[in-house]
Amino acid sequence: MAAPIAVAIDAPDIETAARWASAVAPHVSHVKVGLELYLRYGPEVVATLRGGTKVSVFLDLKLHDIPATVAGAARNVARLKPSILTVHAAGGRDMIAAAVDGAPGTTIAAVTVLTSLDDAALERIGVRGPSLDAARRLAVLAVEAGATALVCSPQEAASLRAEVGPDITLITPGVRPAGADHGDQARVATPEAALAAGADLLVIGRPITRAADPGAAAASMAAALRRAEAASA
Ligand code: C5P
């Protein structure tokens, strides 16, 4: 079975993206497309990454606008049949509900607090901290609005799990195998620690895509996760 990993396909062009996706697809459950590729190539990139595989597409567009606009955007994106679409929880209850209504076959994942914002940056945009409290408030609001998944840091996963219960999918970026280069990720956890904290789907980009052999890197991370899951079962 494919491991619960969404490989962040943050590639410079569609050819590289297609190569990475086909290499990792046999080993992982999802490939994640973000704004950079989507704004350049549009729907074509979704079809290309899916290719002939069964891999699910996670469309990380982080929608944030008035409810009517987000409903329209979600309806248009739903035609591409992504399994997951992200919105900003800070868009509020009606906006999140509009995304859920607009894309009924897609899991709407609400981004709580961007991990790039620290407490001081949050205060400057008028959000009462600390960031974990803000993430908790936004998580509850998003779930009440109908989101069935949340994007959060691995460090927040256990708290959010306690807040929203077992049925909500927790998606965590900021995952680095022990000893790997952290890049620009500051608050990281190993894949095994993220799972233990309650994450359901791990977003992993550069440790896989920038490896000499992305397919082999995905396979070895998938095997490590299976071992961790078996050990905790
Ligand atoms: O290469 P790396 O593993 O750092 O990739 C992580 C992916 O997760 C990137 O696509 C990044 O945009 C995304 N992400 C993140 N932190 C968030 C939300 C999304 O790193 N809070």
pLDDT tens, residue by residue, 142-190: 999 999 999 999 999 999 999 999 999 999 998 888 877 777 776 678 9
The predicted pLDDT at position 230 comes to 84
Whether 62 is a known active-site residue: answer yes
The predicted pLDDT at position 187 comes to 67
- Report the nearest atom of ligand 1 relative to the CA of 184: 4
The predicted pLDDT at position 53 comes to 86
Instruction: Tell me if 73 sits within 8 A of 85, measured CB to CB.
Output: no
**Pocket mutation for ligand 1, best pick of 10, 152, 203 (most atoms within 8 Å of C-beta):** 203
Asked if residue 135 has pLDDT above 90, the reply is yes
Asked if residue 233 has pLDDT above 90, the reply is no
The predicted pLDDT at position 54 comes to 85
- Report the nearest atom of ligand 1 relative to the CA of 114: 21
Q: Pick from 162, 17, 90: which is nearest to 9 by CA?
A: 17
pLDDT average, residue stretch 204-213: 96
pLDDT tens digits, 8-27 = 999 999 999 999 999 999 99
**Pocket mutation for ligand 1, best pick of 10, 116, 131, 175 (most atoms within 8 Å of C-beta):** 10
Angle 107-111-117 from CA coordinates, rounded to 5°: 165
Whole-angstrom distance, CA of residue 227 vs CA of residue 148: 27
Whole-angstrom distance, CA of residue 203 vs CA of residue 7: 6
- Report the nearest atom of ligand 1 relative to the CA of 32: 10
pTM of the model: 0.94
Which residue in the block uniquely carries the two structure tokens 């996963």?
A: 157
Asked if residue 232 has pLDDT above 80, the reply is no
Whole-angstrom distance, CA of residue 220 vs CA of residue 80: 30
The predicted pLDDT at position 208 comes to 97
The predicted pLDDT at position 150 comes to 98
Q: How far is the CA of 105 from the centre of ligand 1 (A)?
A: 24
pLDDT tens digits, 59-118 = 999 999 999 999 999 999 999 999 999 999 999 999 999 999 999 999 999 999 988 888
The predicted pLDDT at position 188 comes to 78
Atom 3 (ligand 1) nearest CA = 205
